[in-house]
């Protein structure tokens, strides 16, 4: 498997490069025919121009992209573009265009659309963002992904796009149909305790081997639920709760569970004028 990343920096953007020419340049690369793991970084103006021309270019040249098994669109750090500023696009036509795609990662949720998700071979779907709109959650809820093994969703903050609540996630987990799911990640939320409760009540608890509740505001309230519920599920081999707000005592208790636990990066709540604040790892 050959991996390659394509991106434009600001200087290249100033010279006229951008999303409208990126696919043309990718196809002109003599190494591209051997690439199976394709990453698209900054298209030079991600805070102003969406990546729709890139998505459309892939769809229009579907045969020449047919060997791609892993695709990541939006791989950029905050110095290139804050995650909440990344202008995404509509992926509705991509599903049919790349029938052999196994992994799709999308970073950014502004102007994001997934359309009708039908794909027979996709095994992993990851959306990294500062706030995941309910509309996107509902599109994934209706998805037909019979081979999906990994689902990782950054829920984020209502300041940056998340317009739902714990019932949104509870309903999503109740209605979604992923018979092969092994890794469930509902992460990066400012209501992580409430979402932990919703996840622990879901039908997927009996089939997954990895539970990822990391990068959010998980406190001892959520930690206690995990201590109570996880021993019931021998199928779960790994718990990821790194970046959390649990006490040292609760962290230690979780580490004593008979499974692999990542409880690193413990944070302390901040206080201001008598109010306590906890923040998810990735929002803006």
d(CA 228, CA 204): 17
Please report the pLDDT score of residue 271 as a whole number: 84
pLDDT at residue number 220: 98
Of all residues in the chain, the percent with pLDDT exceeding 70 is 100
Give the mean model confidence (pLDDT) for residues 62-70: 97
The pLDDT of residue 14:
86
Under 8 Å between Cβ of 104 and 125: yes
pLDDT score at 194: 98
Q: Is residue 284 part of a domain?
A: no
- 283 within domain boundaries: no
pLDDT score for 245: 98
Kind of pairing between the strands at 275-277 and 270-272:
antiparallel
Q: What local confidence, expressed as pLDDT, does residue 16 receive?
A: 85
Q: Which domain holds residue 262?
A: 2-277
For 212-239, the pLDDT digits (tens) are 999 999 999 999 999 999 999 999 999 9
pLDDT at 193 (0 to 100): 98
pLDDT in tens, 110-146: 999 999 999 999 999 999 999 999 999 999 999 999 9
| Model pLDDT, residue 241 | 98
Q: Tell me what the pLDDT averaged over the chain comes to.
A: 96
| 282 domain-assigned | no
Residue 113 φ then ψ, to 5°: -140, 140
- In the sheet that holds 124-128, the strands lie side by side as 2-8, 35-43, 70-73, 103-107, 124-128, 150-156, 183-189, 210-212, 238-240, 260-262
Residue 62 lies in a domain: yes
- Residues 145-202 have pLDDT tens digits of 999 999 999 999 999 999 999 999 999 999 999 999 999 999 999 999 999 999 999 9
Q: CA 186, CA 198: separation in Å to the nearest integer?
A: 10
Q: How confident is the model at residue 45 (pLDDT cuts 50, 70, 90)?
A: confident
CATH number at residue 188: 3.80.10.10
Q: How many domains does the chain have?
A: 1
For residue range 14-37, what is the model confidence (pLDDT) as tens digits? Answer: 888 989 999 999 999 999 999 999
Q: Could you tell me if residue 78 is inside a domain?
A: yes
H-run or E-run covering 184: strand 183-189
Contact 118, 143 (CB under 8 A): yes
- DSSP letter assigned to residue 258: S
Neighbours of 16 (CB within 10 A): 10
Q: Is 267 exposed, middle or buried (0-12, 13-18, 19+ CB in 10 A)?
A: middle
Write down the pLDDT at residue 1. Answer: 77
Spatial contact of 49 and 43, defined as CB atoms under 8 Å apart: yes
């Amino acid at each position: 498997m050959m991996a390659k990343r394509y991106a434009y920096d600001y200087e290249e953007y100033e010279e006229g490069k951008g999303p409208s020419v990126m696919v043309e340049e990718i196809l002109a690369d003599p190494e591209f025919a051997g690439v199976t793991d394709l990453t698209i970084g900054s298209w030079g103006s991600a805070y102003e121009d969406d990546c729709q021309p890139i998505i459309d270019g892939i769809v229009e040249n579907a045969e020449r992209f047919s060997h791609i098994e892993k695709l990541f669109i939006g791989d950029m750090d905050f110095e290139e573009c804050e995650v909440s500023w990344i202008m995404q696009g509509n992926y509705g036509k991509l599903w049919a265009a790349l029938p052999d795609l196994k992994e799709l990662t999308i970073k950014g949720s502004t102007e994001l659309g997934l359309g009708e998700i039908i794909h027979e071979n996709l095994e992993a779907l990851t959306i990294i963002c500062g706030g995941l709109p309910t509309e996107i959650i509902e599109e994934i809820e209706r998805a037909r992904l019979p081979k999906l093994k990994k689902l990782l969703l950054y829920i984020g903050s209502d300041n940056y796009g998340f317009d739902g609540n714990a019932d949104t996630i509870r309903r999503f987990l109740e209605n979604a149909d992923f018979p092969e799911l092994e890794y469930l990640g509902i992460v990066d939320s400012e209501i992580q305790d409430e979402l932990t409760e919703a996840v622990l009540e879901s039908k997927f608890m009996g089939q997954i081997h990895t539970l990822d509740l990391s990068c959010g505001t998980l406190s001892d309230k959520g930690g206690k639920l995990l201590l109570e519920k996880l021993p019931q599920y021998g199928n779960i081999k790994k718990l990821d709760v790194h970046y959390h707000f649990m006490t040292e005592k609760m962290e230690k208790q979780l580490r004593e569970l008979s499974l692999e636990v990542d409880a690193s990066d413990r944070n302390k709540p901040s206080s201001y004028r008598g109010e306590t604040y906890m923040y998810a790892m990735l929002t803006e």
